[in-house]
């Protein structure tokens, strides 16, 4: 979309990209350079790196199980600081800028605190600022519910703010600036031989995000796919092209496996015995999902006393999951075990759809490396296993090699 003869581009800068005053000044320089190239930037910023963790830990010191408006108000405050600093840096360079919190532009969400979903974005205010040549600098991660409470979108949620704003403005793409130059075939911090990907499909990126890859927030990819907003993940330190997330049909060749993805901190909860039948399971998983806890692996087996149940949640969701379990299991006598220090390692690729044998190779690698597997799940385009954290690096690197992903 063009306005005042300029291409409007939503640009999101993550925590490291605004992690210091020097970085914030560099972002301001980049925005102005883009302006001189004929773009008009709409900026979305995260909190300075480490800040949201600090805020979360302050809240946890008082009550780790608390979730509600006060928690969201607390953790959303980091973005207020970074957008204000960025707006000052832009104005110092002779341009007009306006820092904006979600209530000022109407980023409406539901009231599922700490995991809210965006319902609506009104583009009028942003368009008006652009038409007046004022740079909007918008706080990522936050929204506002119908009662004017501040809500937050879940950790990493600024990506979702940016893509939703691009969708709300009917733009065809959105730029996500981060601390890596591309999406890689594995997290380069874990697998140094990871290869750069130029393009990846929405479907694969969604699986990667849901399996723990931090590079994009899953909702951002879902919104991009639904509203046809292509996502360009690129470095905030370099100017070269990054990775484009595009519809599957636009990728000519699909390797069997595109990436090895991991979640470094998964928790497995085991309950034994729970009442037989599907009723208890329905009650438990409905309550967990109502609280926004996403469960991704469930195993169940029947025995004389009832059934044995195991499921995995992310470490971030553990306090919420425990709260739900405390309520539902009140008065029931059963064994409840929480296995922490677990990790999840997965392989993802749309190429798996048409090629059998990936599961066999996956488990062979784990067996050869003597890595015990605690839970397993598969879909059309992924296989994942929960393993002990201590084996994560070794298994991710071995899988990366076996599926021919190592950089040559």
CA gap 174, 21 in Å, rounded: 25
Least CB distance from residue 285 to Mg ion, whole Å? 28
Indicate whether 78 belongs to the interface with ligand ASP (CB under 6 A).
Answer: yes
Judged by beta carbon, residue 178 or residue 307, the one nearer ligand ADP is: 178
Which option in Mg ion, ligand ADP, ligand ASP, none does residue 16 bind, with CB closer than 5 to 8 A by kind?
ligand ADP
Least CB distance from residue 269 to ligand ASP, whole Å? 24
- Yes or no: say if 132 and 122 are a contact pair by the CB < 8 Å rule: no
Q: How many residues does the chain have?
A: 408
Least CB distance from residue 147 to ligand ADP, whole Å? 29
Out of 46, 185, 201, 243, the only residue in the binding site for ligand ASP (CB under 6 A) is: 46
Edge-to-edge, what's the strand order for the sheet holding 150-152? Answer: 118-121, 107-109, 142-144, 150-152
Judged by beta carbon, residue 213 or residue 254, the one nearer ligand ADP is: 213
Subset of 309-348 contacting Mg ion (CB under 5 A)? none
Interaction pattern, residues 149-188, with Mg ion; x per rule: CB under 5 A: -------x--------------------------------
Which option in ligand ASP, ligand ADP, Mg ion, none does residue 374 bind, with CB closer than 5 to 8 A by kind?
none
Out of 16, 158, 173, 210, the only residue in the binding site for ligand ASP (CB under 6 A) is: 158
Judged by beta carbon, residue 78 or residue 156, the one nearer Mg ion is: 156
Residues near ligand ADP (CB under 6 A) = 14-17, 46, 156, 178-180, 183-184, 186-187, 189, 213-215, 259
Which option in ligand ADP, ligand ASP, Mg ion, none does residue 157 bind, with CB closer than 5 to 8 A by kind?
ligand ASP
Least CB distance from residue 282 to Mg ion, whole Å? 34
Interacting span for Mg ion (CB under 5 A) from 11-19, 26-34, 166-174, 262-270: 11-19
Bridge partners of 99, per DSSP, are: 137
Indicate whether 143 belongs to the interface with ligand ASP (CB under 6 A).
Answer: no
Judged by beta carbon, residue 233 or residue 284, the one nearer ligand ADP is: 233
Interaction pattern, residues 1-40, with ligand ASP; x per rule: CB under 6 A: -------------xx-------------------------
Bridge partners of 347, per DSSP, are: 260, 383
- Yes or no: say if 326 and 279 are a contact pair by the CB < 8 Å rule: no
Judged by beta carbon, residue 14 or residue 78, the one nearer ligand ADP is: 14
Sites of contact with ligand ASP (CB under 6 A): 14-15, 46-47, 52, 78, 140-141, 155-158
Sites of contact with Mg ion (CB under 5 A): 14, 156
């Amino acid at each position: 979309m063009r306005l005042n003869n300029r291409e409007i581009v939503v640009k999101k800068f993550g925590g490291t990209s605004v992690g210091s005053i020097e970085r914030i000044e560099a972002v301001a320089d980049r925005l102005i350079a883009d302006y001189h190239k004929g773009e008009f930037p709409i900026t979305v910023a995260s909190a300075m790196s480490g800040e949201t963790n600090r805020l979360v830990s302050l809240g946890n010191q008082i009550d780790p199980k608390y979730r509600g408006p006060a928690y969201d108000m607390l953790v959303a405050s980091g973005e207020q600081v970074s957008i204000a600093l960025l707006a000052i840096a832009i104005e110092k360079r002779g341009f007009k800028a306006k820092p904006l919190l979600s209530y000022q532009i109407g980023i409406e969400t539901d009231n599922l605190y700490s995991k809210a979903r965006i319902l609506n974005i009104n583009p009028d205010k942003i368009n008006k600022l652009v038409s007046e040549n004022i740079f909007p600098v918008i706080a990522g991660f936050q929204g506002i519910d119908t009662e004017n409470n501040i809500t937050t979108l879940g950790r990493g949620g600024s990506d979702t703010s940016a893509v939703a704003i691009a969708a709300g403005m009917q733009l065809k793409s959105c730029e996500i600036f981060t601390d890596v130059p591309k999406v890689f075939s594995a997290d380069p911090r874990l697998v140094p031989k990871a290869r750069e990907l130029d393009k990846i499909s929405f479907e694969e990126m969604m699986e990667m995000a849901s399996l723990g890859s931090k590079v994009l927030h899953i909702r951002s990819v879902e919104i991009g796919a639904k509203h046809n907003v292509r996502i360009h993940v690129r470095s905030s330190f370099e100017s070269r092209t990054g990775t484009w997330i595009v519809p599957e049909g636009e990728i000519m060749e699909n390797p069997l496996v595109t990436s090895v993805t991991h979640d470094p901190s998964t928790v497995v909860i085991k309950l034994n015995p729970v009442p037989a039948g599907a009723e208890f399971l329905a009650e438990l998983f409905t309550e967990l999902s109502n609280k926004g806890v996403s469960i991704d692996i469930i195993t169940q087996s029947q025995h004389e006393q009832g059934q044995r149940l195991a499921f995995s949640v992310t470490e971030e969701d553990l306090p919420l999951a425990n709260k739900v379990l405390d309520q539902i299991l009140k008065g029931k006598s059963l064994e409840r075990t929480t296995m922490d220090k677990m990790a999840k390692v997965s392989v993802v690729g749309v190429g798996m759809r048409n090629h059998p044998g990936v599961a066999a190779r996956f488990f062979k690698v784990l067996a050869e490396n003597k890595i015990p597997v605690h839970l397993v799940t598969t879909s059309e385009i992924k296989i994942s296993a929960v393993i002990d954290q201590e084996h994560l690096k070794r298994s991710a690197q071995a899988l990366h090699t076996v599926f021919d992903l190592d950089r040559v």
